[in-house]
């Protein structure tokens, strides 16, 4: 059990730190770090919590609040933020996983955007891909959809469409090249505009 008791010397150091004393700030951080370390084994979370405590120490009211509790609230919020960031990153990674592997490198730059830009680009790029697919020649479109969205092999596609397996392969290759070319052109154009 971690004690919420804050020695008077630490309270005085908090007040001095808020007045600009670096030595007092260091003493406060030396006091709280072992408590944070004991409560949490995640080193990134420990570090981020200490950084936030250091950044916002000036806003803590010694007369009204419990310093240890305040620090643990910061740690809890940092953990929550970390989980949200992990979830957003996972959503970005999985967003384009329905598309064939060949198209995935085209999306890597989108993972380096802010959440708002990413949501805009996700909608934009999904719309662009569907428009490009719908604009393919009918046979290429049919083969591409059977391959990409139904997961059929060239042998299965050739038997369904009553064509040679080589025709399925060549039409698919042309369809993928058209999609890549038009997507790169559109994405480069949009990227340069921003």
Q: Which of 11-15, 60-64, 94-98, 160-164 has the lowest mean pLDDT?
A: 94-98
Domains within the chain, CATH numbers bracketed: 8-91 (1.10.1740), 96-193 (1.10.10.10)
Which range of 24-28, 142-146, 185-189 scores highest in mean pLDDT? It is 24-28
User: What integer pLDDT is reported at residue 115 of this predicted model?
Assistant: 47
65-109 pLDDT per residue, tens: 889 889 989 999 888 888 877 776 666 555 555 555 555 555 544
The Cα-based distances of 112 to 34, 40, 53, 173 in angstroms read 35, 30, 28, 29
- Residues 149-180: b if buried by 16+ CB within 10 A, e if exposed: eeebebeebbeeeeeeeeebeebbebbbebbe
């Amino acid at each position: 059990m971690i004690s919420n008791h804050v020695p008077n010397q630490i309270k005085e150091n908090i007040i001095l730190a808020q007045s600009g004393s670096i030595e007092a700030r260091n003493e406060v951080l030396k006091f709280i770090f072992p408590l944070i370390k004991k409560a949490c084994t995640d080193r990134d979370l420990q570090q981020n919590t200490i950084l936030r405590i250091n950044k916002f120490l000036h806003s803590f009211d010694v007369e009204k609040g419990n310093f240890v509790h305040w620090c643990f609230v910061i740690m809890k919020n940092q953990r929550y933020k970390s989980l949200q960031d992990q979830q957003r990153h996972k959503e970005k990674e999985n967003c384009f996983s329905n598309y064939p592997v060949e198209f995935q490198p085209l999306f890597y730059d989108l993972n380096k955007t802010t959440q708002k830009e990413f949501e805009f680009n996700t909608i934009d790029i999904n719309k662009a891909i569907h428009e490009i697919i719908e604009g393919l020649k009918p046979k290429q479109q049919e083969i591409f959809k059977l391959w990409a969205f139904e997961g059929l092999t060239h042998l299965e596609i050739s038997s369904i469409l009553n064509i040679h397996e080589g025709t399925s392969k060549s039409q698919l290759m042309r369809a993928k090249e058209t999609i890549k070319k038009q997507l790169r052109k559109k994405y480069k154009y949009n990227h340069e505009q921003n």
